[in-house]
Structure 1
């Protein structure tokens, strides 16, 4: 029992004292991510891709404002007659707060905020026997969590994570992504 407690105390002290190997010492960083998304309306889901660009402005080495733009579109942009599938695309403009903590050679982070979203959804209308497209704009919350790490000697930080974006029309988008940061 004493060995386990001692090992736990030693590991905790090592993590706390080591800080972050890549803690942000510059005021900002640009980043870009690409990934796969599952857009769901509660009864059906469609696969989509996304590309994101953003900027983090650090208030402290571990707290930053996150500004981002994301374009997302379903892989199949057509809707077949009498189908329950849908085609969706949206642009989001987000502002959030990022918290990050270094653990050894990588940083874990979480982001929460809100996005202004321009959304377009196309579905088959049985009543009209035609595809109907609905456009809507709203402000919706988002959340992300990820890990970033620096290859030895590189100014780039590699990034991987997950995100969840609430969308207009009772839809949501769950995403997996990978990308890179460039600090300055």
Structure 2
């Protein structure tokens, strides 16, 4: 590079691992954060107490409930842009929710983690210490809008080992 020529500045890349509760987002995100040396956040940590209480009682959230939660996730992504990007789990069930997250500075890529609903329900029934009951799986599936062809991202089918899922995600990210 010639003296005085500025180095190319890469835009931050945020990976949003989306999908219904119990699909494997958190396990994958933790591994990707290690592999890619990125800041990581679990979207559940951004929920206000009222949202957690509502879900714990078996009541699905409304769009109005989700708005401030999604904005706080977007703001966290923005705050971490100097680190080159982030990895965050977020159900991001509807395109409008993803549109809000896409407002973060940099490139926002969605990796939609899917899994057999019966497997998800079984996981959730045996998961300890989490507020989301298995009874909400049907409402999450009914709300879920898959990635559109024009959305930046890809689907990951969680049907094998964690290592296979991580390898699948790393391959997809390298190709994007």
TM surpasses 0.5: no
TM-score w.r.t. structure 1 length? 0.26
Q: Report which of the two structures shows the higher radius of gyration computed on alpha carbons.
A: 1
TM-score w.r.t. structure 2 length? 0.27
Structure with more contact order per residue of length (Cα contacts < 8 Å, sep ≥ 6): 2
Greater share of residues in helix = 2
